[in-house]
Amino acid sequence: MFKIVTTPTMLEDAYQIRKSVFVQEQGVPLENEIDQFESIATHVIGYDQSNTPFATGRFRPLDKGIKIERIAIIASHRKLGYGKLLMNYLEEVAKSHGHTNLKLNAQCQAQAFYASLGYTTEGDVFMEENIEHIVMIKNI
């Protein structure tokens, strides 16, 4: 179901999911969505039983750990438990690379979801791309 992106086609599938969720649904400008960290990030893609790409996320090195970013699931596949499975997979991959300190900028509407996975808030709410976010951290 979830795999580390290893080919240009897989990466394009991940970008298409992000464009659908962040650019089309949430109004993030495309030039801000695809950023300077694409080449250093470890990207993950999820394919369903029909081999349709439906979920993505990435992580990249940050200080003494990693930053998890760009978690996106297409609308037709939400509320089915895939978000938890995706996060668990990302955490497993990060841990297998020796990372134990995880950080992410959660959209406030998803804060309870990340809290249910053991993430705790740090600092104050801030705006990013006109969407309220909060830093959340977890040690694994």
Question: Which DSSP string do the residues of 35-104 spell out, in sequence order?
Answer: -TTTTTSEEEEEE-TT--EEEEEEEEEETTEEEEEEEEE-GGGTTSSHHHHHHHHHHHHHHHTT--EEEE
Q: Scanning the structure block, which residue is given the tokens 């040690």?
A: 139
Locate 16 and state its tokens: 């298409």
pTM of the predicted model as reported, rounded to 2 decimal places: 0.94
What residues make up the domain containing 89? 2-99
Provide the domain count of the chain. 1
Angle, alpha carbons 100-39-1 (nearest 5°):
65
- Residues of the chain below pLDDT 70: none
**pLDDT tens digit sequence for 57-83:** 999 998 889 999 999 999 999 999 999
pLDDT at position 26, please? 95
Residue 114 lies in a domain: no
pLDDT at position 135, please? 97
- CATH code at 65? 3.40.630.30
Residue 41 lies in a domain: yes
